[in-house]
């Protein structure tokens, strides 16, 4: 394990906090989907508020990380990659909040034919992110382990992508209004973005691993 200075340790600590916060947020996205399925809009609203609080917390942590990085934590080459990673991670929390807003504000009516697929989709998104989380932690502790986990993020994202396509095909086979189909398709795409963005982050991590090995 590499030894870092105080500024670097602060960034690592804040990065862990951000990852934990986003993981908690995504778990609540799974919960809010379950409550939307049974149309418990009171619980849906409560969960949306909790997700909003977590997204705000993630934003605060991100700004603290960025401030410390701009103060000179890490060498410039590594610093730039970390800034890119932090910005990319923030998009995942934002997308989780987008899903919560859509389910709550639009009161999306979810047909029974989609429930299993949507649950699997968010579960894979959660798995992709948490695999990414372990990958990021290991860029400071074990580069070989980080490299191994990158391919696992890609595998999970590919599995989620297949479910996403199946869901969209199912949506357009249903006997429901076109506007409802478009609304459901957007929900599927937003949920799919969680896995896609996790893979995008893993690409940045891969660059970091390459550079740290040089």
Q: What is the CATH number of the domain that holds 122?
A: 1.20.58.220
> What is the reported pTM?
0.93
Judge whether 174 lies within some domain.
Answer: yes
Q: What local confidence, expressed as pLDDT, does residue 154 receive? A: 94
Number of other CB atoms surrounding residue 34 within 10 Å: 17
Host domain of residue 15: 6-213
Judge whether 1 lies within some domain.
Answer: no
pLDDT digits (tens, 9 = 90+) for 190-210: 999 999 999 999 999 999 998
CB-based contact 117:166 (threshold 8 Å): yes
In whole angstroms, give the CA distance from residue 76 to residue 208: 12
Q: What local confidence, expressed as pLDDT, does residue 4 receive? A: 74
Q: What local confidence, expressed as pLDDT, does residue 158 receive? A: 96
Judge whether 169 lies within some domain.
Answer: yes
Start-to-end CA span in the chain (Å): 16
Low-confidence ranges of the chain (pLDDT < 70): 1-3, 214
Number of other CB atoms surrounding residue 144 within 10 Å: 9
| Total number of domains constituting the chain | 1
- Furthest-apart CA pair in the chain: how many Å? 61
């Amino acid at each position: 394990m590499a030894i870092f200075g105080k500024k670097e340790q602060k960034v690592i600590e804040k990065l862990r906090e951000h990852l934990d916060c986003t993981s908690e947020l995504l778990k609540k996205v799974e919960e809010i989907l379950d409550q939307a399925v049974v149309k418990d809009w009171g619980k849906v609203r409560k969960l949306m508020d909790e997700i909003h609080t977590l997204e705000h917390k993630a934003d605060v942590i991100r700004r603290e990380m960025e401030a410390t990085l701009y103060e000179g934590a890490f060498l410039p080459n590594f610093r730039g990659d970390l800034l890119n990673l932090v910005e990319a991670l923030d998009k995942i929390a934002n997308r989780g909040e987008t899903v919560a807003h859509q389910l709550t504000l639009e009161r999306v009516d979810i047909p029974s034919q989609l429930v299993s697929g949507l649950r699997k989709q968010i579960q894979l998104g959660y798995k992709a992110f948490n695999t990414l989380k372990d990958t990021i932690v290991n860029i400071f502790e074990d580069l070989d382990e980080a490299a191994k986990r990158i391919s696992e993020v890609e595998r999970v994202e590919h599995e989620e992508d297949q479910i996403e396509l199946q869901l969209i095909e199912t949506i357009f086979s249903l006997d429901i209004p076109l506007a409802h189909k478009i609304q459901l398709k957007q929900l599927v795409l937003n949920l799919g973005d969680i896995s896609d963005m996790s893979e995008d982050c893993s690409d940045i991590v891969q660059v970091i691993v390459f550079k740290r090995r040089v």
